Chains A and B, each alone.
Chain A
């Protein structure tokens, strides 16, 4: 799923998650935690580590990953009350990407459902704002502030698509249909195929 060359995937994987170390780590005490007074990291340590480091460690049972608080019950309640008001951009710019990566590790159907529902509800509002012509600029800036990075991309693409459509519709240079073809039934592609080239006599 993750694209090796995608810059945003790289940044999404930099998000921190809490990990419980089931085993210690030789010589990495200070690297993980500067306040650690031992060279080695002790078993049972609880640390914030970037997401990219978790996958292989978790799959070998060396660590246990805890979900960041923004997938917890409080945010879930907020999302269920009104998904539009939750500021995902502030909580985690890569709300969905990080969630999907966590799913690779935990396979938790509840998390999958949360991501799915959140996206469904927010997408509807996002789409309306992106495509409507009379959208209030104040509304748009307010909305842009609460979007996650993935949503922002969709939103910008939506706006671009709408403005391209507008400029296409307003082109004055309307293609005129050549007089020879006016009688043709364009809906019947066979007609043109049946036209036989005239013989030169």
Chain B
């Protein structure tokens, strides 16, 4: 019998303890076990429902014991769903980050630890980003190159015409920031 989400908690604990970099290998066996538990809860739930229906009762006439068990199974299903989604989501965010910081090539040791679906996600995420950065279809800049803003707040400009009046004051600075910043 299921253990009320205990198995799935292992997965979440693992991603909660992840350090700054790296990715623990995808625990396919544990995920599968959780899915089996979900199946078990689902079957138990249907079982209770069918006994109620067989007895010819309306929903609000259900035995309190049955209703309680129904709730417990239902809550367990939702809990397992949330934990699994949390696990996959945390890993997905980590994989996205890898694309931004480590570039297009997937390191082999990282690839080993990813599930096939995660590898596919990486490829498709990469495709999207490349499309966005492409000069024909997008902005035309490699956005991953400069992840931090420049230290120096001043920029160099070339004066194109003599205007005869040195009003290079706050306004000009603001203009420059607006144009190039």
Do A and B bind? yes
- The minimal Cβ–Cβ distance linking A31 to chain B, given in whole angstroms, is 4
Give per-residue flags for B144-181: 1 if the beta carbon is below 8 A from chain A beta carbons, else 0: 00000001111000000001111111110110000000
> How many angstroms from the CA of A52 to the CA of B86 in the assembled complex?
15
Q: 1/0 per residue A1-41: CB within 8 Å of B?
A: 00011011011001000000101111110110000000010
Tell me whether A195 is interfacial, beta carbon within 8 Å: yes
Q: Is the CB of B163 within 8 A of A26?
A: no
Interface string of A166-195 (1 = CB under 8 A from B): 000000010100101100100000011101
Measured CB to CB, the closest approach of chain A to B55, in angstroms, equals: 13
Any B CB within 8 A of the CB of A138? no
B168: which A residues are within 8 A, CB to CB?
Answer: 180
| Alpha-carbon separation in the docked complex, A173 to B151 (Å) | 9
> Which residues of chain A come closer than 8 Å to B89, judged between CB atoms?
5
Are B9's CB and A24's CB within 8 A?
A: no
Residues of B within 8 A of A109 (CB): none
CA distance A120 to B26 in the complex (A): 41
The answer to whether A62 touches B82, judged by C-beta atoms less than 8 angstroms apart, is no
Q: Which A residues lie within 8 Å of B65 (CB)?
A: 23-26, 40, 43
Partner of A181, one of B4, B5, B47, B170: B170
B90 an interface residue at 8 Å Cβ cutoff? Answer: yes
- A117 contacts the other chain (Cβ, under 8 Å)? no
Question: Which residue on chain A has the smallest CB distance to residue B73?
Answer: A28
Interface size on A, residues (CB 8 A): 40
Cβ–Cβ < 8 Å partners of B68 in chain A: 21, 23-26, 57, 62
A200 within 8 A of B: yes
Given A7-B16, A7-B90, A10-B86, A56:B169 Cβ within 8 A: no
Interface flags for B61-76 (1: CB within 8 Å of A; 0: not) read: 0011111110110011
Main secondary structure of the interface of B (DSSP, over half): helix
The answer on a CB contact under 8 Å between B4 and A50 is yes
Report A43-72 CB contacts with B as 1/0, cut-off 8 Å: 100000110110011001010000000000
Q: Please, which residues of chain B bring their CB within 8 A of the CB of A8?
A: 16
Interface status of A81 (Cβ within 8 A of chain B) = no
Judging by beta carbons under 8 Å apart, are A53 and B75 in contact? yes
A198 interface residue per 8 A CB criterion: yes
Given A49-B4, A53-B76, 18 more A-B residue pairs with CB atoms under 8 Å apart are: A5-B89, A7-B86, A10-B12, A11-B16, A14-B5, A14-B9, A26-B48, A26-B63, A26-B68, A27-B47, A28-B72, A31-B3, A52-B5, A56-B75, A57-B72, A60-B71, A173-B151, A197-B171
